[in-house]
Amino acid sequence: MSINKISTKINKGNFFEDFKIGQKIIHPLPRTITQGDVSFYIALTGSRFALHSSDVLAQEFGYEKRPLDDMLMFHLTFAKSVQDISLNAIANLGYAEVSFLNPVFVGDTVRLETQVIGLKENSSGKSGVVYVHSIGYNQNNEEILNLKRWVMVHKKDKSKNSGINEVPTFAKTTTISKNINIPTLQNIDTNATGGTYFWEDYEENERLNHTEGITIDDSDHTLATKLYQNNAKVHFDDFMMKSTPIGKRLMYGGHVISIARSISFNGLQNAQWIYAINAGAHANPTFAGDTIYAYSEVLEKIDLNREDIGLLRLRTVALKNMKSNDVKSRFDENGKYLKNIVLDLDYTVIIPKKK
Amino acid sequence: MSINKISTKINKGNFFEDFKIGQKIIHPLPRTITQGDVSFYIALTGSRFALHSSDVLAQEFGYEKRPLDDMLMFHLTFAKSVQDISLNAIANLGYAEVSFLNPVFVGDTVRLETQVIGLKENSSGKSGVVYVHSIGYNQNNEEILNLKRWVMVHKKDKSKNSGINEVPTFAKTTTISKNINIPTLQNIDTNATGGTYFWEDYEENERLNHTEGITIDDSDHTLATKLYQNNAKVHFDDFMMKSTPIGKRLMYGGHVISIARSISFNGLQNAQWIYAINAGAHANPTFAGDTIYAYSEVLEKIDLNREDIGLLRLRTVALKNMKSNDVKSRFDENGKYLKNIVLDLDYTVIIPKKK
Amino acid sequence: MSINKISTKINKGNFFEDFKIGQKIIHPLPRTITQGDVSFYIALTGSRFALHSSDVLAQEFGYEKRPLDDMLMFHLTFAKSVQDISLNAIANLGYAEVSFLNPVFVGDTVRLETQVIGLKENSSGKSGVVYVHSIGYNQNNEEILNLKRWVMVHKKDKSKNSGINEVPTFAKTTTISKNINIPTLQNIDTNATGGTYFWEDYEENERLNHTEGITIDDSDHTLATKLYQNNAKVHFDDFMMKSTPIGKRLMYGGHVISIARSISFNGLQNAQWIYAINAGAHANPTFAGDTIYAYSEVLEKIDLNREDIGLLRLRTVALKNMKSNDVKSRFDENGKYLKNIVLDLDYTVIIPKKK
Calpha distance C176→C178 (Å, rounded): 7
Strand pairing class (B5-6; C24-26): unpaired
Confidence of residue C2 (pLDDT cuts 50, 70, 90): low
Q: Chain C: give the shortest CA distance to residue A227, in Å.
A: 4
Mutate: best of C197, C211, C286, C312, partner A, most A CBs <10 A: C211
Alpha helices in B145-252 (DSSP H): 190-193, 218-227, 238-241
* Cβ neighbours of A32 in C, within 8 Å: 53-56, 66
Residue B85, chain A, CB below 8 Å: the answer is no
Q: Which CATH superfamily is domain A15-33+68-169 in?
A: Hotdog Thioesterase (3.10.129.10)
Q: Do domains B15-33+68-157 and B186-355 have the same CATH topology?
A: yes
The residues spanned by each domain of chain B are 15-33+68-157, 186-355
Mutate: best of C34, C45, C83, C142, partner B, most B CBs <10 A: C34
Residues 175-194 in B contacting A (C-alpha not used; CB under 8 Å): none
Reference C347, options C280, C281, C277; nearest CA is C277
Residue C112 and residue C77 in contact, taking contact as beta carbons nearer than 8 Å: yes
Query: Domain B15-33+68-157 is in which class?
Result: alpha beta
End-to-end, the C-alpha distance of chain A in Å comes to 80
Q: Which CATH number fits domain A180-355: 3.30.420.40, 2.40.10.10, 3.10.450.350, 3.10.129.10?
A: 3.10.129.10
Query: Residue A118: its pLDDT value, please?
Result: 98
Query: Residue A1: its pLDDT value, please?
Result: 47
* C223-279 per-position pLDDT tens digit: 999 999 999 999 999 999 999 999 999 999 999 999 999 999 999 999 999 999 999
Q: Which amino acid is at B165?
A: N
Chains in contact with chain B (at least 3 beta-carbon pairs closer than 8 A): A, C
Q: Treating both helix axes as pointing N-terminal to C-terminal, what angle do A218-227 and A253-263 enclose, rounded to 10 degrees?
A: 110
Residue B295 phi/psi, 5-degree rounding, is -130, 160
Residue A37, chain B, CB below 8 Å: the answer is yes
Specify the fold of C20-156+188-352: Thiol Ester Dehydrase; Chain A (3.10.129)
Q: Treating both helix axes as pointing N-terminal to C-terminal, what angle do B218-227 and A35-45 enclose, rounded to 10 degrees?
A: 110
Query: Residue B73: its pLDDT value, please?
Result: 98
Query: What is the sign of the dihedral through the CA atoms of A350, A353, B1 and B4?
Result: negative
Averaged pLDDT, B209-235: 96
Per-residue pLDDT of chain A (355 residues; tens, 9 = 90+): 456 799 999 999 999 999 999 999 999 999 999 999 999 999 999 999 999 999 999 999 999 999 999 999 999 999 999 999 988 788 888 899 999 999 999 999 999 999 999 999 999 889 999 999 999 999 999 999 999 999 999 999 988 888 899 999 999 999 988 788 999 998 899 999 999 999 999 999 999 999 999 999 999 999 999 999 999 999 999 999 999 999 999 999 999 999 999 999 999 999 999 999 999 999 999 999 999 999 999 999 999 989 999 999 999 999 999 999 999 999 999 999 999 999 999 999 999 999 7
Residue B289 CB-half CA count within 13 A: 5
Residue A229 and residue A53 in contact, taking contact as beta carbons nearer than 8 Å: no
Degrees (nearest 5) of the Cα angle B107, C35, C292?
Answer: 145
Reference B150, options B77, B76, B85; nearest CA is B85
Calpha distance A336→C104 (Å, rounded): 55
Query: Domain B186-355 is in which class?
Result: alpha beta
Calpha distance B213→C235 (Å, rounded): 10
Give the pTM.
Answer: 0.97
Residue A39, chain C, CB below 8 Å: the answer is yes
Residue C219 has its nearest CB partner, among A83, A219, A229, at: A219
* Cβ neighbours of B29 in A, within 8 Å: 48, 50, 53-54, 192-194
Confidence of residue B103 (pLDDT cuts 50, 70, 90): very high
Residue A237 has its nearest CB partner, among C66, C207, C214, at: C214
Residue A43, chain C, CB below 8 Å: the answer is no
Q: How many CB pairs under 8 A join A and C?
A: 148
Calpha distance C54→A32 (Å, rounded): 5
Mutate: best of A11, A33, A140, A255, partner C, most C CBs <10 A: A11
CA B212 and chain centroid, separation = 20
Strand pairing class (A214-215; B309-320): unpaired
Residue A36 has its nearest CB partner, among C36, C193, C194, at: C36
Strand pairing class (A5-6; C206-209): parallel
Residue B306 and residue B332 in contact, taking contact as beta carbons nearer than 8 Å: no
Which contiguous run of DSSP H or E holds residue C220?
helix C218-227
Q: Which amino acid is at C223?
A: L
| pLDDT-above-70 percentage for chain C | 99
B261 Cβ contact list (under 8 Å, min separation 6): B45, B47, B71, B274, B316
Calpha distance B248→B242 (Å, rounded): 5
* C328-349 per-position pLDDT tens digit: 999 999 999 999 999 999 999 9
The SS3 call for residue C80 is helix
Tell whether the model's pLDDT for residue C1 goes beyond 60: no
Calpha distance A207→B5 (Å, rounded): 6
Reference C274, options C103, C122, C121, C158; nearest CA is C103
The SS3 call for residue B22 is coil
Residue C270 and residue C195 in contact, taking contact as beta carbons nearer than 8 Å: yes
Looking at every residue in chain C, the average pLDDT score rounds to 95
Calpha distance B99→B174 (Å, rounded): 7
Reference A114, options A11, A15, A24, A12; nearest CA is A24
Confidence of residue B87 (pLDDT cuts 50, 70, 90): confident
Residue B39, chain C, CB below 8 Å: the answer is yes
Alpha helices in A46-184 (DSSP H): 55-60, 70-78
Residue A249 and residue C215 in contact, taking contact as beta carbons nearer than 8 Å: yes
Calpha distance A344→A342 (Å, rounded): 7
Residue A300 and residue A205 in contact, taking contact as beta carbons nearer than 8 Å: no
* Cβ neighbours of A206 in B, within 8 Å: 4-5, 7
Strand pairing class (C341-352; C309-320): antiparallel
CB contact burial A7-24 (16+ within 10 A = b; e otherwise): bebbbebbbbbebeeeee
Count of all residues that appear for chain B in the document: 355
Q: Which amino acid is at C216?
A: I
Calpha distance B288→B222 (Å, rounded): 10
The SS3 call for residue B235 is helix
Averaged pLDDT, C36-65: 97
The SS3 call for residue B255 is helix
CB contact burial C174-193 (16+ within 10 A = b; e otherwise): beeeeeeebeebeebebbbb
Averaged pLDDT, B205-216: 97
Q: What is the DSSP letter of C82?
A: I
Averaged pLDDT, B251-264: 97
Residue C22 and residue C116 in contact, taking contact as beta carbons nearer than 8 Å: yes
Reference C142, options C181, C97, C183, C98; nearest CA is C181
Q: Treating both helix axes as pointing N-terminal to C-terminal, what angle do C70-78 and C35-45 enclose, rounded to 10 degrees?
A: 110
C333 Cβ contact list (under 8 Å, min separation 6): none
Reference C149, options C122, C124, C170, C172; nearest CA is C170
Q: Chain C: give the shortest CA distance to residue A253, in Å.
A: 17
| DSSP codes of every residue in C124-152 | TSSEEEEEEEEEEE-TT--EEEEEEEEEE
The SS3 call for residue A297 is strand
Query: Residue B2: its pLDDT value, please?
Result: 55
